[in-house]
Homo-oligomer: A and B are copies of this chain.
């Protein structure tokens, strides 16, 4: 792996844009850990608001984190274009995350003129028990892949 190129936007610039434009549930406390061109990591503090039956974190919480991390990675390539919108996301829930902070990491695989596509993996900060390995808890709790549409020059549509 070569050294990543610098991001087109600053991490705090992304955080401020989201805070200013999206009235996210205040219990969803997140921050960008890392931002390079095409690579973004976002950490989500744990909150009891995320639970669902089974003592695990809900699907919508994981989707929100995946979508936000993909958005940061997309803008790290194409610059601050808040009108980019998700066109498609496929999300797989692989392991039940225990009540603990999460870290999502996204890698952009293709930045076309119309669509930017990335891969997101979410990990729990809980200690890996009963142990690492493909069957154990050491791997990602969630795997998402998706695309954002780049707005056309004047603006608009799918």
Copies in the complex: 4
Q: Which of B83, B113, B140, B158 meets A158, CB within 8 Å?
A: B113
Q: Is A90 an interface residue (CB 8 A)?
A: yes
Instruction: Please report which residues of chain A, range 76-117, place their CB below 8 angstroms from some CB of chain B when the two chains form the complex.
Output: 77, 82-83, 85-96, 108-115, 117
The answer on a CB contact under 8 Å between A108 and B134 is: yes
Instruction: Please report which residues of chain A, range 123-158, place their CB below 8 angstroms from some CB of chain B when the two chains form the complex.
Output: 134-135, 139-140, 143, 145, 147, 149, 156-158
Question: Contact residues of A with B, CB < 8 Å?
Answer: 21-25, 27, 37-38, 48-54, 56, 58-60, 63-64, 67, 77, 82-83, 85-96, 108-115, 117, 119, 121, 134-135, 139-140, 143, 145, 147, 149, 156-158
